[in-house]
Amino acid sequence: MSLWHQARRSARLNPSIIREILKVTEQPGVLSMAGGLPSAETFPVEAIRAACDAVLSQAPREALQYAASEGYGPLREWVARHLAGKGMTLGPDQVLITTGSQQGLDLIGKVMVDAGAPVAVETPTYLGALQAFNPCEPIYASLAGDADGPLPGSISALPHDAPGTRFAYLVPNFQNPTGRVIPEARRSALVAAAQAARIPLVEDNPYGDLWFDEPPPPPLASRWPEGVIYLGSFSKVLTPGLRLGYLVAPPALYPKLLQAKQAADLHTPGFNQRVVHEVIGNGFLDRHVPTIRKRYQSQCAAMADALALDMPEGTEWQRPKGGMFFWLRLPAGCDAMALLPKALAAGIAYVPGAAFYAQTPGHAADPRTLRLSFVTLSPEDIADGVATLGRVLREHLDGTRDEAP
Amino acid sequence: MSLWHQARRSARLNPSIIREILKVTEQPGVLSMAGGLPSAETFPVEAIRAACDAVLSQAPREALQYAASEGYGPLREWVARHLAGKGMTLGPDQVLITTGSQQGLDLIGKVMVDAGAPVAVETPTYLGALQAFNPCEPIYASLAGDADGPLPGSISALPHDAPGTRFAYLVPNFQNPTGRVIPEARRSALVAAAQAARIPLVEDNPYGDLWFDEPPPPPLASRWPEGVIYLGSFSKVLTPGLRLGYLVAPPALYPKLLQAKQAADLHTPGFNQRVVHEVIGNGFLDRHVPTIRKRYQSQCAAMADALALDMPEGTEWQRPKGGMFFWLRLPAGCDAMALLPKALAAGIAYVPGAAFYAQTPGHAADPRTLRLSFVTLSPEDIADGVATLGRVLREHLDGTRDEAP
């Protein structure tokens, strides 16, 4: 008998395949397109330094003391105003500051997901959401989709007898991993289908501000305020290392999420909340985020050019309209996981797409898919990295043909 | 049918009674002895400001980027050295940095506690631990104790057929709420009982460095490294607002706790970890913590004097040897919860002891108990506050006698 008897849910906690891959790709000399990190070049270091000074001068005791679980009042008000600008209807009392939006996913799972309850996710979906929900032992329903996102019919088909599907988790803007944005018409149809089936939505929006030519359509939450939990983050527009995100919940659900937050870590660091509020006051993001968009857009263009030049025939991708990622489908006969060691040996890294599929009956991961990030390499390194990927793929395909009888 | 179907565990999430009380006690003019906050006078603001500058000068990109879920390497090494100095045997790879030690409790619950599983706690115990474990739906076993802590026989009597009691949660040093320290002989006996019954221990030590005349005996974890999870915190010796704690787990359990950590919030803010490491390097705590001890010791003495002067006959308490709290048992006929409105009307606040008892069959909360903090008021305010408490109690007791036939 083991001394440390673990809970049943512990079997659903597993090492992240991405994490394991990233360990390998952090070797010097590897051109990594595997990361999900924003570019450190975009971090406003001097603004953060000035904000630290200001907070420690103006309110050191308040910033360093225990604080309210809901979050710092002025920051909650800022979030409410910011989201009202995106068309959402909400009050600051619906805003819960979280330790990164990853924590928001953890709290949602805790409050809403029983063991064996259905939770719907996109195909593929954000791996971190699966990790957050897994300890609650849901049964995943994998939503069928196309280039515009999940199909409304796949929402209608979900189990919705009480208690039914607890929620459908969607990343409408520049999704991780596929990069696709759900267009206006599909958003309307998805919300209508969810309303008809009475299936709540969890809308995760870490990338929405990283658009290139035009902003994405208004959030799902603006269309159905009482039926959507909305998650936002400062990680991609400011810095991830301060671990600052937020969720917006309907009043019916907010108190339980707040109590779960309090039980989880009492509150998100008050110092960090005040520093970020100090930075973003006075319209800072209106000046700062366009510089990130411009940078990422040129990196995206470099990757699009390189892919067009270097990918073997039969490779499929869509050029993203924002965000950080290309999603590739390799030609028949290519398995992205099996090819990764060859890619690493050639000095490049990516994430095999298989990591992003929920384990669910009837939906196998597509082994031909992979994710490439374009935000942490220079345009020159992107060109080199994609050329190397193309060479690895062509060598593999040539080898496959040689082996054929 | 409600749109938002909640998980069964959500029924175990509830507003904190302390939180509700603190809202009332934060009214201006109330002398509050209710808080569990450290004194903001002890926060090393200038050292933190200098550390922010240093981190943002030396490693801004690393500090502001995503980071490892385990925590910042040099901080983990510091923790391992610090705890080795307390007699523990451990490596840095057993240290997991958490978003406050509250998060450590959340992770332990996730990994170890199934619904309906027994978890043993002290009588009374730290309320935040109950809140952290509650969503996992344990059945609490309330350990019988005396002035030296839980009785070893109460550990031996716990259910220990496989899977049995998942762990016993103990706060050996200057416990919240009772202030008591478990002496050497009782520690040995408790560990021996736990080893014999094969019941792991969770040792929570936020207050251990706040001793007055002599340090507490070595940790339980130093006696049974493979059977104890140890939790520590920077909240009471530095500042709570940076939300920085840690746990030390046996190698058999560490990987699952790490995976739970990653799913919960990816990692604790890297900036905060580097700032604290910058502050505490070079022996800072060896100079800083004695100033906290001295301050709290004089406040403790003021409260001890005032209690001796002002409490009605029949009131019981022990003078703490460290930490932040007195635990009082009022004379027969006094209910601390019922008396709280009168106390607030008279301008003082405390926390009724009932908040600190696990709901468990066969152990009712003692309604005569209450907790007083001595660290956030000046000695003069402590004298005034305790005098007011004494007056409220005597008026109540006089009224009770008048009403008697």
Per-residue pLDDT tens digits for B119-143: 999 999 999 999 999 999 999 999 9
Contact B43 A53 (CB under 8 A): no
Q: What percent of chain A has pLDDT over 90?
A: 89
| pLDDT at position B404 over 60 | no
Among A1, A239, A262, select the one facing B16 at the smallest CB separation.
A262
DSSP character for B211? B
Contact A256 B13 (CB under 8 A): yes
Contact A49 B53 (CB under 8 A): yes
CA-wise closest residue to A324 among A249, A374, A258 = A374
Parallel, antiparallel, or unpaired for β B201-204 and A369-373?
Answer: unpaired
pLDDT at B403: 58
Per-residue pLDDT tens digits for B327-348: 999 999 999 999 999 999 999 9
pLDDT at B153: 97
Pairs of CB atoms within 8 A across A/B: 256
Using CA coordinates, name the residue in chain B closest to A199: B3
CATH T-level assignment (fold) for domain A16-43+286-400: Aspartate Aminotransferase, domain 1 (3.90.1150)
Region A254-282: mean pLDDT is 97
Residue B297 to residue B324: CA distance in whole angstroms: 9
Model pTM score: 0.96
Contact A263 B2 (CB under 8 A): no
CATH class of B45-284: alpha beta
Residue A197, min C-alpha distance to chain B (Å): 10
Neighbours of B46 (CB within 10 A): 10
- The domain locations on chain A are 16-43+286-400, 45-284
CATH T-level assignment (fold) for domain B8-43+286-403: Aspartate Aminotransferase, domain 1 (3.90.1150)
Among B65, B239, B255, select the one facing A241 at the smallest CB separation.
B65
Residue A167 to residue A256: CA distance in whole angstroms: 16
DSSP character for B98? E
Q: Which amino acid is at B348?
A: I
Residue A260, min C-alpha distance to chain B (Å): 6
Contacts of B298-305 with CB under 8 Å at 24 or more apart are: B298/B379, B299/B374, B299/B375, B299/B377, B299/B378, B299/B379, B299/B382, B300/B212, B300/B326, B300/B374, B301/B379, B302/B374, B302/B379, B302/B382, B302/B383, B303/B372, B303/B374, B303/B382, B303/B386, B305/B383
Contacts of A110 in chain B (CB under 8 A): 7, 9-10, 13, 135
pLDDT at A402: 64
Residue B312 to residue B314: CA distance in whole angstroms: 6
Low-confidence winner among A256-265, A356-365, B113-122, B237-246 (lowest mean pLDDT): A356-365
Region B235-241: mean pLDDT is 97
Residue A336 to residue A350: CA distance in whole angstroms: 9
Contacts of A135 in chain B (CB under 8 A): 110, 260, 263
Per-residue pLDDT tens digits for A30-59: 899 998 899 999 999 999 999 999 999 999
pLDDT at A348: 95
| pLDDT at position B19 over 90 | no
Contact B136 A7 (CB under 8 A): yes
Tell me the three-class secondary structure of B308-357, residue by residue: HHHCCCCCEECCCCECCEEEEECCCCCCHHHHHHHHHHCCEECEEHHHHC
Q: Which helix (H) or strand (E) holds A226?
A: none
Residue A49, min C-alpha distance to chain B (Å): 7
Residue B161 to residue B197: CA distance in whole angstroms: 9
Contact B43 A65 (CB under 8 A): yes
Using CA coordinates, name the residue in chain A closest to B258: A15
Q: Are B206 and B196 within 8 A, CB to CB?
A: no
DSSP character for A124? S
pLDDT at B63: 97
- The whole-chain average pLDDT of chain A stands at 95
- The interface predicted TM-score of the complex, written ipTM, equals 0.96
Q: Which amino acid is at A210?
A: L
- Residue B252 CA: distances (Å) to CA of A3, B226, B228: 9, 8, 11
DSSP character for B225? G
- Residue A284 CA: distances (Å) to CA of A105, A254, A278, A279: 27, 29, 10, 7
Q: What percent of chain B has pLDDT over 90?
A: 89
The encoded tokens of residue B267 equal 């990692």
Angle in degrees, 0-180, between the axes of helices B270-280 and B284-310, rounded to the nearest 10: 90
Contacts of B375 in chain A (CB under 8 A): none
pLDDT at A1: 54
Residue A18 to residue A340: CA distance in whole angstroms: 12
Using CA coordinates, name the residue in chain B closest to A239: B64
Backbone angles phi, psi at B30, to 5 degrees: -90, 125
More confident residue, B365 or B276: B276
Among A5, A64, A162, select the one facing B43 at the smallest CB separation.
A64
Contacts of A16 in chain B (CB under 8 A): 259, 262
